[in-house]
Amino acid sequence: MSGQISKEDRQQLERWIGLGPRDFELLYSISRDGCSPEIFHKLCDNQGPTLTVLYNTHGSVFGGYASSSWTNPPKDTLVQDENAFLFQLRLNDKERKNKFPVKNSPKALKACATKGPGFGSNRDFATFDSHISQENGKFKLDGYMKTPQDWLDYGNKGVLSKGDIMNNDLHVTELEVYKVTEQLQALTPAPWRKIKEESLEAQSELIGSLKPCKEQGVSDFRVLLLGPTGSGKSSFVNTVRSTFMGRLSQKAACGLGPRGCTLAYTPYTVQTKDRKNLSLRLCDTPGLTENLGIVDVAFLLGGHVKDHHKFFAANQIDVESSDFVQKPQPRNKIHSVVFVLSVSDVNDPSTGLFEKLMEIKTMLNGKGIPYNTVLTKIDEVCENTEDIYKCAAVGEVVEKVAVKLGVSRNTVFPVKNYENEVELDEHVGALALISLKHILYSAADASDAESAGETTESDVI
Ligand SMILES: Nc1nc2c(ncn2[C@@H]2O[C@H](COP(=O)(O)OP(=O)(O)OP(=O)(O)O)[C@@H](O)[C@H]2O)c(=O)[nH]1
Ligand SMILES: [Mg+2]
């Protein structure tokens, strides 16, 4: 549906029509097609139910619904319509919702080849009777509306004057006619997850406001990314960084190779467009099990591993080496863990990966460190990132991960990382931000609980 009518007004009209969800297809717009009876009839005749909506220069919105088709007889012809009604949605830019049902249904509509849409036998409401040009962005329509007390064929709201409906003024910026049809359920499957639509800016601002508890003397949440080689950990870092920076960032090296790409433990900062750091370090790690063993994960959680330490072939860090931090500061410890798994990791039964993840999960539960799962490469299941929450196959793979890890589904977040794109994509960004928001919510909860003395984290090893 294009056109000016808002979602809220459309929902109100659906309720007034009373036949369940409707689709509104814009057939005619005077600003787009010109104000002309001939064009109106050419575009709107024999289309079934239609909605005519006018927007006047005072910010008032009103019109009429016809469940019978418009036609183009040479002379004025009355058309029967039991379901027709006139309505108002706004007066002087303020919400004002009124429905005026037809009283005299055999005379509900007046059709004529030389006129625009008309309602009522003596034309309780007429739109236009000739070709009208646009002047300074408005059309001085030559129709009229009688005051509701004089309406013969439509409901009468008693005290309302025509000024109360349309300011007694048919200078309009727009007149639209929509075709109204049954909404096909198949076109709008119920989403497997409901998501509040929020702009990237609003989400970014909210995420930017999340900070660790002051009492702990820690300025950043350390978020540890764990997952097998090639699952998309480094790509997730780049995707989050790109979304905040407003341009593609390739800071973390990505790629596939026999030995994996990332070898060092690397905490990344995330900067906003105006170069302010978020209270966040996204800590990239080498591929779990191949290059990073469970004991090293425990060391990482406790803050015992120096930034940029290189792991290789799951060789455990030497606790005597200078890269091993004997007395970690609170700021080195991990506040939240993200299991980064790709769709194919979930479906690959051969690696023993999930056994390892369950071991780590037990460790995290013991330490009171929260964890979430980011499910990458979701484009392999659903090509269109806009449809992720409507795509049943994505819902299924999310459920599969949740069952395999023994976690609730609302801790598993499908994402598509930047990998082939050279420009930013708002849907890719939105998926990344939703996951990050919840990762930080859980880190903030744990941080609050710790400073309130609700957890007793035992020190690592
Ligand atoms: N199609 C698609 N490809 C992705 C996605 N995320 C990552 N990739 C690709 O997968 C490959 C591996 O991604 P990385 O981010 O390097 O994976 P990693 O988990 O950091 O791997 P290691 O550093 O080896 O442990 C790269 O070629 C990426 O371009 C995604 O969401 N969709
Ligand atoms: Mg990597």
- The residue nearest atom 24 of ligand 1, judged by CA position, is 260
The phi, psi pair for 85, rounded to 5°, reads -155, 155
Q: What percent of the chain is predicted at pLDDT more than 90?
A: 81
Distances (CA, A) of 375 to 197, 230, 233, 397, 402: 21, 12, 10, 9, 11
pTM of full prediction above 0.75: no
Ligand nearest to the CA of 388: 1
pLDDT digits (tens, 9 = 90+) for 83-128: 999 999 999 999 999 999 999 999 999 999 999 999 999 889 999 9
Residue whose CB lies within 8 A of the most ligand 1 atoms, among 417, 428, 435, for a mutation test = 417
Give per-residue pLDDT as tens, 175-232: 999 999 988 754 566 899 999 888 899 999 999 999 998 766 789 999 999 999 999 9
d(CA 449, CA 443): 10
Question: Could you report the per-residue pLDDT of 310-331, keeping only the tens digit for each?
Answer: 998 878 999 999 999 999 999 9
Q: 89-107: buried (b, 16+ CB within 10 Å) or exposed (e) per residue? A: bbbeeeebbbbbbbeebeb
pLDDT for the residue numbered 373: 98
Residue-wise pLDDT tens digits, 32-86: 999 999 999 999 999 999 999 999 999 999 999 999 999 999 999 999 999 999 9
If you take atom 23 of ligand 1, which residue's CA is the nearest one? Answer: 262
Q: How far apart, in whole angstroms, are the C-alpha atoms of residue 362 and residue 85?
A: 63
| Index of the ligand 1 atom closest to the CA of residue 288 | 25
Local confidence band at 362 (pLDDT 50, 70, 90 cut-offs): very high
Q: Which residues surround ligand 2, an ion (CB under 5 A)?
A: 233-234, 261-262
Indicate if the pLDDT at residue 256 is higher than 90: no
Ligand with minimal distance to 292 CA: 1
- Residue 340 CA: nearest ligand 1 atom is 19
Judge whether 87 and 52 are in contact, CB under 8 Å.
no
Rounded Cα–Cα distance for residues 111 and 333 (Å) = 75
Q: Which residue's CA is the nearest one to ligand 1's atom 13?
A: 232
Does the pLDDT of residue 459 top 50, yes or no?
Answer: no
Q: Give the mutation target among 240, 254, 265, 380 for probing the ligand 1 site: most ligand atoms within 8 A of CB.
A: 254
Average pLDDT over residues 371-396: 94
Q: Compute, in angstroms, the gap from residue 261 CA to the centroid of ligand 1.
A: 9
Ligand at minimal distance from the CA of 382 is 1
Probe ligand 1: pick from 419, 427, 435, max atoms within 8 Å of CB?
Answer: 419
Can you name the residues that pair with 29 across neighbouring β-strands?
176
pLDDT at 457 over 70: no
Residue 455 pLDDT class (50, 70, 90 cuts)? low
DSSP E strand stretches across 92-130 = 94-101, 109-111, 118-119, 125-126
Instruction: Look at residue 215 in the predicted model and tell me its pLDDT.
Output: 67
Q: How far is the CA of 450 from the centre of ligand 1 (A)?
A: 34
CA diameter of the chain: 99
DSSP alpha helices (H): ranges in 368-414? 392-405
Identify the pLDDT of residue 458.
42
> Token pair of 65, please?
């619904």
Decide: residue 164, CB within 10 A, 0-12 exposed, 13-18 middle, 19+ buried.
middle
Distance in Å, CA 236 to ligand 1 centroid:
8
Name the packing angle between helices 233-245 and 200-208 (round to 10°): 100
Protein residues with CB under 6 Å of any ligand 1 atom: 227, 229-235, 254-256, 260-262, 286-287, 376-377, 379, 416-417, 419
Q: What is the 3-state secondary structure (H, E, C) of 2-25?
A: CCCCCHHHHHHHHHHHCCCCEEEE
CA distance between the termini of the chain = 61
Taking 3-state DSSP, the helix, strand and coil percentages for the chain, each rounded to the nearest 5, stand at 30, 25, 45
For residue 271, what is the enclosing H or E element? strand 266-271
Domains of the chain: 7-187 (no CATH), 200-451 (3.40.50.300)
| Closest C-alpha to ligand 1, atom 30 | 377
Chain-centroid distance, C-alpha 178:
26
Q: Rounded mean pLDDT of the chain? A: 92
* Ligand 1 closest atom vs CA 257: 24
Kindly identify the ligand whose nearest atom is closest to the C-alpha of 226: 1
Instruction: State how far the Cα of 132 lies from the Cα of 24, in Å rounded to an integer.
Output: 25
Q: How many residues does the chain have?
A: 461
51: left (phi over 0), alpha (psi -120 to 50) or beta: beta
**What are φ and ψ of residue 147, in 5° steps?**
-70, 140
Spacing of C-alpha 209 from chain mean position: 20
How far CA 378 is from CA of 12, 249, 403, 404, in Å, comes to 36, 20, 18, 18
